[in-house]
Amino acid sequence: MSDNKDGGSVTPAVQKPGTHSISEILSQPHCWTNCLKQVDRSGILEEIVRDFKDASEWIFVGCGSSYYVAQSVAFSWTLLTGLRARAVPASELLLFPDTLLTGTEDIAAVVISRSGQTSEAVAAAGLLEKEKGIRTLAVSCAADRPLEHISSSILALLPADEESTVMTRSFTSMLLGLQYLASHLAGNHGFGKSLHKLAPAAEVVLPAFHSRIRDFVQERQFADYICLGQGPFFGIASECALKITEMSLSYAQNFHALEFRHGPKSVVGPETLIMFLLSETGYEEECEVLQEIKSLGGTTLAIANRADERARAASDLVIEFGFELPELARLAPYTFAGQLIGLYTGLKKGVDPDNPRHLTRVVILDENSAAAEPSAD
């Protein structure tokens, strides 16, 4: 409580559940613009390209949502630069380093952590730098944190930091920041310009997207959630499933879209929402799976840049962006659906999406015990 001018007390206003989350989700296009402007002004990408230009192979390391950033970035990286790239969970690197690093030469590593202080991410950077002699680039949304001090270079996207426990705009901003770095490394200035165009394009469609997802969630009840994607969209599907789990305490899974046929489709029913992130590259095959799942009685949500009549007929809800941009340049907005479904499902269930149970913003491990604070980072 605080005193008022009459000598009484004033009870602080109680913040509504999900206040930070909804603000951070809807602020993403503006945040992307600010992050790219910051990066351009700093000249940091030119420094990173100079310092890492001799690397012929890249590994991207993270925990939780940051690992799913790594998945989508690694796929993008190979397509944009022509260099081998792969995503590795920090825990796997710490437990089985020789298996993951044997046979690698001229390798560079990117360690991703919103907070810059997640224990496993910091330990992974230390292992790479100090024990393996592998240069690392830290990617974070915070400054002057342990990860920065261990790594050779830092890409800090400070406008993307959040109040919420759960990562939303930090996820998409770190994804875009690393794609932007890949475009510089490849000398692909056209792709870099496309990333600059993404924010204003997304800002136009996000309000309608927001209201349609909110109404869809409020009108229906689901027991389980499945998120499907292929190629660079698989990491996005993984993140969508995690957002639904974290923000609403619901059970959500992710699969490669075509792999869903091979056993997992046994769970299909009207009480399970199956979300399809439809790519252009694999559209025909992915649309066939969408049609099959609908024929089995599933409730389906399709997200595509452009959908045809087959996709519309096989979907209970279709979200179309209609962007005139390369496929890789528009990955980030595909996370909107998972974020908003998680948010509004959580609110519907009486959960505070800003502060889900058992989670903190950062995992700090006690060096003297195996205890950890689970988090979204």
- Residue ranges per structural domain of the chain: 19-188, 199-348
Coil, strand, or helix at residue 52?
helix
Identify any residues that bridge with 135 across adjacent strands, giving them in sequence order: 108
pLDDT at position 280, please? 96
The pTM (predicted TM-score) of the whole model is 0.92
Q: Above pLDDT 90, what percent of the chain?
A: 87
Phi then psi for residue 288, to 5 deg, are -65, -40
Q: E-strand spans in the chain?
A: 2-3, 9-10, 57-62, 84-89, 107-112, 135-140, 153-156, 224-228, 251-255, 272-277, 299-304, 317-320
pLDDT band at 363 (very low <50, low <70, confident <90, very high): low
State pLDDT tens for residues 250-272: 999 999 999 999 999 999 999 99
CA separation for the pair 130, 109 (Å, rounded):
13
pLDDT band at 357 (very low <50, low <70, confident <90, very high): confident
pLDDT band at 374 (very low <50, low <70, confident <90, very high): very low
CATH superfamily ID and name for 199-348: Glucose-6-phosphate isomerase like protein; domain 1 (3.40.50.10490)
The yes-or-no answer to whether 19-188 and 199-348 have a common fold is yes
Region 52-60 average pLDDT? 95
CA separation for the pair 355, 375 (Å, rounded):
10
Q: Give the pairing of strands 153-156 and 84-89.
A: unpaired
Q: How far, CA to CA in Å, does 320 sit from each of 208, 246, 257, 279, 294?
A: 11, 25, 18, 12, 19
pLDDT at position 102, please? 82
Region 337-346 average pLDDT? 97
CATH class label, 19-188: alpha beta
Coil, strand, or helix at residue 60?
strand
pLDDT band at 14 (very low <50, low <70, confident <90, very high): low
pLDDT at position 376, please? 60
Nearest to 79 by CA among 250, 233, 283: 233
State pLDDT tens for residues 281-332: 999 999 999 999 999 999 999 999 999 999 999 999 999 999 999 999 999 9
